[in-house]
Amino acid sequence: MQFLAIIPARYASTRFPGKPLALLGGEPIVQHVYRRAASVFERVAVATDDERIADAVAAFGGQAVMTSDKHRSGTDRAYEAFVKLGADADVVVNIQGDEPFVHTSQLQAIKSLFDSPETDIATLVKPFPADTSWEVLNNPNSPKVVLAADGTALYFSRSVIPFLRGIPPTEWTSRHTYYKHIGLYAYRAASLQRITALNAGVLEQAESLEQLRWLENGLRIRTAVTHIETIGIDTPQDLTRAQQFLEDSAAS
């Protein structure tokens, strides 16, 4: 089975313009992501809408492909890159360009889900620790996912699901395993083509989660469980935290 890893990387971020080119340990953030992806996948490309990012990728020896600046999501950008590359990949892996600490074991876990021919789309989930506070669990910016017994995603929500009837919310994480969604995706090529042609559904519009469009249209999303916490970079403050994490990791 042939895999193609695509790293969508926009320059015009509202909270952190030029984020993919921000330096982390002396290297652009996008270079960290590229190096980790290339340790697992033979074919890796950065999908960008800005020549500055494309030039930076070329400078460290990577491959970049120019894509439209009109895309509504990284999924759409990944599909355009896949088409432009003339790729014959069976599976396209979408690795967020602001995840410099994505772990190779997480990428391998995504890859292994396609050993099953029933997998249309794959993603990762991480259990909330049993001592997680209600404030953290209830954060709408941290989507939750409910799983079937075989690890198939049943639903994603910004709300806390399931609701534990008769139990105080402060005790929920000690009584039930809740899963946080980790935004790393992989798609069979035919599934990627299909989902990018779909209109936003009722559920997606309600929760602003694109994966609900896929579930609403009958696609099967398989999940793998990871226990590794990564540091995504959305703001300059996150970059400061990431720099400290990098230094602490090097020191240990």
Specify if 19 maps to a domain: yes
* pLDDT, tens only, 232-251: 888 899 999 999 989 888 87
Q: Are 173 and 129 in contact (CB under 8 A)?
A: yes
CATH number at residue 123: 3.90.550.10
| Residue-wise pLDDT tens digits, 176-219 | 999 999 989 999 999 999 999 999 999 999 999 999 999 999 99
pTM comes to 0.93
Positions of the chain with pLDDT under 70: none
pLDDT at residue 169 in the model:
96
Q: What is the model's pLDDT at position 127? A: 98
Residue 170 sits in which domain range? 3-236
Residue 225 lies in a domain: yes
Crossing angle of the two packed helices 29-38 and 104-112, in degrees rounded to 10: 50
**In-domain check, residue 100:** yes
Residue 200 lies in a domain: yes
Residue 175 placed within a domain: yes
Q: pLDDT at position 77, please?
A: 92
Residue 161 forms part of a structural domain: yes
Residue at 113 is within a domain: yes
Kindly state whether residue 241 falls inside one of the protein's structural domains. Answer: no
Task: Provide the domain count of the chain.
Answer: 1
